[in-house]
Structure 1
Amino acid sequence: MDINHLYLKLRFAGMTTRQIHQLFNYECDFGSYNKREQQYKLKSYLTKIKSTKKMSIYDNFIKHDIESILLQLDRWKVKFIGIKNTAYPNLLREIFEPPLILFYKGNLSLAQNEQSLAVVGSRQATSYTNEALRILFPSFKKRNLTIVSGLAEGADKLAHQHALAHHMPAIAVLGFGHLNHYPKTTYVIRKQLEQKGLVVSEYLPYQKPLKHHFPERNRIISGLSKGVLITESTINSGTSITTNCALDQNREVYVLPGSIFNKMTMGNLISAQEGAKIVISAKDIIEDYH
């Protein structure tokens, strides 16, 4: 079986990305074994982990065949790319425990553009975010940057709106499967991105938005990007998770300047203390993109 199909089968069996990475660390030759050996090795691995889904994972792995999985994806009109495929995004390969399977709708080639900038911030973004992006985006357009964000309310939504308005390549990263959507306010933008950009997820198409998915999703936002721009963030916000991911992945982190009296930019100031670059003009970002 093709290794990408094997990853896909393991995902549909119910294994998480991390569990599959652990399985291949536990049994590095798992992909080369025959069907019976794979079942035996999987059963052995499952005895060593803490999970309430051990039996269902094993049963699903035996029960599901790759042809039926591919047929179901086709019915859902959802495509996939495996990490061993040459079309898999190169920047994303570099991160710790990258998604072994990415599900997507739209133009996958956009994920190969390494001139990519993630734009993230608070879900309660103020007019400061919108005005700053309005000034910055014409320069981003001239540099033909690909804009990456998470399709959440607030800064993410504004970033995608500006990208679409400037006819720029844009990528949305979901914290759920393609058959679901959250929040409702970004659904129209998502449909536009499926036609004009790219929408990706590491979650199985039917998986619903769960709280722990969004921190996991943030590592992909930064992983697809050469740099990350933080517009507004409070202390210990979800945005700080993306910032930490970016720093761990050796990505450039940019922040808009803020006031010490404004809680919406206190996270920005802390990030600046930790080494993020303060953005006064688009040049502060563009000069790092050659």
Structure 2
Amino acid sequence: MTLSYAGVTIGEYHQLKYMRHGHSLPAELQRKLAAAKRLNSSAIKSHLASQGITWITIGDERYPRLLAEIHDPPYILYAKGDWQLLHKRALGIVGSRKASRYTQESLKAIIPELKNLSIVSGLAYGADEAAHRLCLSHGIPTIGVLAFGHDVHYPKSTTGLRSEMEMHHLTISEYPPDTPPEKWRFIARNRIIAGLSEGVLVTEAEERSGSLITLDMAMNENRNTYCLPGNITSGLSKGTNLRIQEGAEIVLSADDILKDFH
């Protein structure tokens, strides 16, 4: 846990884990290890407890099995809410931040049928927000994956939604609580959404979209990939239609997803 607070990255963590005896560490990593030793772990644990945040390392039995199997799993997760949702079978749902009414209406038809699954998304504006809100409305467990620490939030529009999820569902982050949002962290967050899920559904996505990165990550990890078909004249459907053409499964109803979760 102190390694995380000292800024040790996943790559550096693996360097430490697999370093051969007698090999010297890079100067930057040595600096971080020295900083970790100076940290007051009791004070950190006290702050996490005061915020209701649980920390789960990759060797812990509470760490989600599917996530541990991906190429670069986070070595620590900070969780707020019901961490046991990490062990429920999950579907990732992502889509455009500019999602149209089509995303909302489609998810209204699909999500209520997914009673035995939890839904993983990124608490972003647009499709993510729609998926999480519909889960809350229909009593479907949902997990929000943050691209920053638990002491900060972005965007403002999902602040209230996140609070409700942390009371009854779950949010997780691989970063210490005071970590601010940065563009690269949103991309890194996508691998966790894909890694927690047995499959990922994209509702709408432009040809170059972060949602499609999540779908590609899911495909690379041997997970099921699903897309809603869209209007061929809509830029928001160009990405999903192309992925269907390339082999992602077309979703016309919840049954197209549930057949893979027997």
Q: 1:246 aligns with which of 214, 218, 223?
A: 218
Question: Corresponding residue for 1:282?
Answer: 254
2:46 is aligned with 1:24: no
- 1:55 is displaced (CA, Å) by 6.4
CA distance in 2 between counterparts of 1:162 and 1:58 reads 43
CA distance in 2 between counterparts of 1:22 and 1:229 reads 34
2:87 is aligned with 1:112: yes
Deviations 1:45-83 (A, max 9, x none): 123xxxxx5564143123124333322322343211111
Give yes or no for contact 1:21–1:97 (8 Å, CA) kept in 2. no
Q: 2:176 aligns with which of 204, 208, 211?
A: 204
Question: Corresponding residue for 2:150?
Answer: 178
Q: 1:135 aligns with which of 104, 109, 113?
A: 109
SS in 1 for 2:70: coil
Deviations 1:63-112 (A, max 9, x none): 12433332232234321111111111111111112011100100011110
Question: Corresponding residue for 1:269?
Answer: 241
- 1:281 is displaced (CA, Å) by 1.4
Question: Corresponding residue for 1:36?
Answer: none
1:82-161 counterparts in 2 under 5 A?
82-114=57-89, 116-141=90-115, 144-161=116-133
CA distance in 2 between counterparts of 1:140 and 1:289 reads 10
Q: 2:36 aligns with which of 49, 61, 65?
A: 61
2:196 is aligned with 1:224: yes
Q: Which piece of structure 1 moves more, 12-21 or 92-101? A: 12-21
TM score, norm. by length of structure 1 = 0.86
SS in 2 for 1:45: coil
- Number of matched residues? 262
CA distance in 1 between counterparts of 2:33 and 2:82 reads 34
Gaps of 5+ in 2: none
CA distance in 1 between counterparts of 2:129 and 2:225 reads 20
Question: Corresponding residue for 1:215?
Answer: 187
Question: Corresponding residue for 2:8?
Answer: 15
SS in 2 for 1:235: coil
Give yes or no for contact 1:139–1:282 (8 Å, CA) kept in 2. yes
Give yes or no for contact 1:11–1:17 (8 Å, CA) kept in 2. no
Give yes or no for contact 2:202–2:212 (8 Å, CA) kept in 1. no
CA distance in 1 between counterparts of 2:103 and 2:147 reads 22
Question: Corresponding residue for 1:5?
Answer: none
Structure with higher Rg: it is 1
CA distance in 2 between counterparts of 1:224 and 1:15 reads 22
TM score, norm. by length of structure 2 = 0.95
Over the matched positions of the two proteins, sequence identity in percent amounts to: 43
Structure 2 letter corresponding to 1:45: L
Give yes or no for contact 2:8–2:29 (8 Å, CA) kept in 1. no
Gaps of 5+ in 1: 1-7, 30-39, 48-52
Deviations 1:98-137 (A, max 9, x none): 01110010001111012x1111000000000001001112
- 1:16 is displaced (CA, Å) by 1.3
Structure 2 letter corresponding to 1:221: I
Q: Which piece of structure 1 moves more, 85-94 or 75-84? A: 75-84
Question: Corresponding residue for 1:4?
Answer: none
CA distance in 2 between counterparts of 1:188 and 1:100 reads 29
SS in 1 for 2:79: strand
Structure 2 letter corresponding to 1:73: L
Q: Which piece of structure 1 moves more, 61-70 or 238-247? A: 61-70
